[in-house]
């Protein structure tokens, strides 16, 4: 009997020790009450509850938490009703305030998020709502963080997960975006055609200038060639006259040259040819010319 009683006492002592000895992990905190009033907040480590008078009121996690709330109906400034769901990230910074500050703090954050979202979106038009997501996130985080300070909660981040306008608004937006894309495509096409026309015109202009320059140079070269040819021809004639002068030609030679000149005249295209009756006159004329050359 005494042995059984001793075993029961040992078991009760073990249960009491196991119940009242608490090991708190690094990511948790315990809010402890003594006789129904707040006593302490236990952080990581080994702790012992006083039997029968101490109790753990709340086990609080210190890790960052996330709450994904259901879509909420909101109305924009231009009277468009849409559904928006939000994601809130938060950290419990004061376990005591979190335990005693408010009942059901997660539900309180959800309700506060919905009302804050309606207030912000109510001051924005549809287009601003769709393009100002980052601004809305920042405003909501600031409002929620201020409101949750008495609850021992720090709001670290707020995100608008989805913005869902009505179906007819979505269709209108898709048509607008399609029209805008087509407009940009037409502008790019027109710009490309314009650039192409400009390049072609510049190419034609440059080719015309180059062609004119080439024709000018060809004309100049041709004129210079003709001038050089004429100059050489006159030089040759002058040298021929000089050689005739130096050779002192006879009357017979001059007569023969006169015959050759008449032969060349006869080979021309003239329809009427007058030949002197006295060919000796030609020889006399040529002789006179010879004498003139000698005097010169």
What confidence tens digit (pLDDT) does each residue in 228-263 have?
888 777 777 777 667 766 666 666 665 666 656 555
Q: How many domains does the chain have?
A: 4
What is the spatial distance between Cα 234 and Cα 232, in angstroms, rounded to a whole number? Answer: 5
In a domain? residue 39: yes
pLDDT tens digits for range 8-19: 777 776 777 677
Higher pLDDT among residues 55 and 3, named by residue:
55
Same domain? For 99 and 155 the reply is: yes
Q: What is the pLDDT of residue 268?
A: 53
Residue 277 has a CB neighbour count (10 Å cut-off) of 6
What is the spatial distance between Cα 92 and Cα 27, in angstroms, rounded to a whole number? Answer: 11
In a domain? residue 137: yes
Same domain? For 143 and 95 the reply is: yes
Same domain? For 159 and 75 the reply is: yes
Same domain? For 98 and 112 the reply is: yes
Domain boundary among 45, 61, 77: 61
In a domain? residue 179: no
Expressed as residue numbers, the domain containing 204 is 188-247
Q: What is the pLDDT of residue 155?
A: 94
Q: Residue range 34-53: average pLDDT?
A: 87
- Match 């196991």 to its residue by tokens: 18
End-to-end CA distance of the chain: 178
Asked whether 54 and 33 are in contact (CB, 8 A), the reply is yes
Same domain? For 228 and 279 the reply is: no
pLDDT tens digits for range 154-196: 999 999 888 888 777 767 666 777 777 778 888 888 888 888 8
Q: What is the pLDDT of residue 223?
A: 82
Same domain? For 203 and 293 the reply is: no
Asked whether 44 and 24 are in contact (CB, 8 A), the reply is yes
What is the spatial distance between Cα 171 and Cα 148, in angstroms, rounded to a whole number? Answer: 39
Find the CATH number of the domain harbouring 105: 3.30.479.30
Q: Residue range 291-296: average pLDDT?
A: 49
In a domain? residue 51: yes
In a domain? residue 176: no
Same domain? For 35 and 123 the reply is: no
In a domain? residue 177: no
* ∠ CA 24-30-35, rounded to 5°: 130
Does the pLDDT at position 275 exceed 60?
no
């Amino acid at each position: 009997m005494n042995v059984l009683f001793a075993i029961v006492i040992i078991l009760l002592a073990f249960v009491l020790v196991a119940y009242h000895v608490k090991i708190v992990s690094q990511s948790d905190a315990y809010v402890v009450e003594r006789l129904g009033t707040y006593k302490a907040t236990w952080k990581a480590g080994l702790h012992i509850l006083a039997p029968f008078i101490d109790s753990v009121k709340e086990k609080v996690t210190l890790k960052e938490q996330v709450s994904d709330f259901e879509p909420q109906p909101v109305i924009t400034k231009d009277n468009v009703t849409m559904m928006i769901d939000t994601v809130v990230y938060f950290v419990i910074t004061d376990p005591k305030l979190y335990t005693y500050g408010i009942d059901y703090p997660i539900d309180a954050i959800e309700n506060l998020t919905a009302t804050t979202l309606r207030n912000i979106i109510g001051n924005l038009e549809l287009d601003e709502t769709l393009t100002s997501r980052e601004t809305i996130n920042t405003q909501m985080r600031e409002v929620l963080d201020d409101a949750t300070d008495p609850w021992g909660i720090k709001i670290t981040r707020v995100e608008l997960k989805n913005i869902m306008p009505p179906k007819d608004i979505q269709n209108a937006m898709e048509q607008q975006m399609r029209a805008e894309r087509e407009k940009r495509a037409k502008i790019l096409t027109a710009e490309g055609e314009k650039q192409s026309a400009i390049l072609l015109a510049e190419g034609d202009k440059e080719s015309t200038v180059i062609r004119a320059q080439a024709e000018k140079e060809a004309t100049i070269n041709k004129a210079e060639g003709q001038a050089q040819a004429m100059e050489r021809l006159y030089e040759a004639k002058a040298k021929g006259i000089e050689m005739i002068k130096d050779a002192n030609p006879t009357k017979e030679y001059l007569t023969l040259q006169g015959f050759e000149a008449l032969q060349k005249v006869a080979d021309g295209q003239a329809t009427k040819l007058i030949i002197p009756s006295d060919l000796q006159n030609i020889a006399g004329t040529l002789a006179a010319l010879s004498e003139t050359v000698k005097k010169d």
